[in-house]
């Protein structure tokens, strides 16, 4: 992974952690939530990465907004795990997600002003 782009670094590291967490969910036979979480949790970085080669500023902002939506969905699934009985949970994932969402929101706001 190329270092130097904060959002790409954060989302890549987060995706690796999400994959490991989803493996824990699958070990407990929580397949439905694992599928949803792996999709949304890895899509954040995928969209942030895709935004790097956007065709315009509007396209860049649009792709980062999709990444932000995926982050919100990921928060939903993680909160379900946090509050549901018999589901594993890792608070670090929510802390990491907070950082990602703050960076995404800042990039989007800054890009819109330019």
List, for residues 13-38, the tens digit of each pLDDT value. Answer: 999 999 999 999 999 999 999 999 99
Residue 27, Cα to own-chain centre: how many angstroms? Answer: 22
Contact (Cβ atoms closer than 8 angstroms) between residue 97 and residue 21: no
Question: What's the pTM value of the predicted model, to 2 decimals?
Answer: 0.93
**Any idea which residue has 């895709």 for tokens?**
50
Choosing among 1.20.1440.60, 1.10.10.10, 2.60.290.11, 3.40.50.620, the CATH entry for 6-113 is: 1.20.1440.60
Res 3 pLDDT > 70: no
Share of the chain above pLDDT 90, in %: 94
């Amino acid at each position: 992974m190329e270092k130097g782009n904060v959002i790409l670094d954060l989302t890549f590291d987060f995706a690796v952690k999400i994959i490991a967490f989803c493996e824990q969910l699958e070990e407990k036979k929580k397949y439905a939530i694992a599928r949803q979480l792996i999709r949304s949790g890895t899509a954040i970085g995928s969209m942030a990465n895709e935004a790097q080669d956007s065709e315009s500023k509007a396209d860049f902002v649009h792709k980062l907004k999709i990444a932000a939506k995926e982050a919100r969905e990921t928060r939903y699934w993680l909160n379900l795990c946090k509050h549901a009985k018999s589901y594993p949970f890792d608070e670090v994932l929510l802390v990491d997600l907070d950082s990602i969402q703050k960076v995404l929101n800042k990039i989007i706001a800054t890009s819109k002003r330019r």
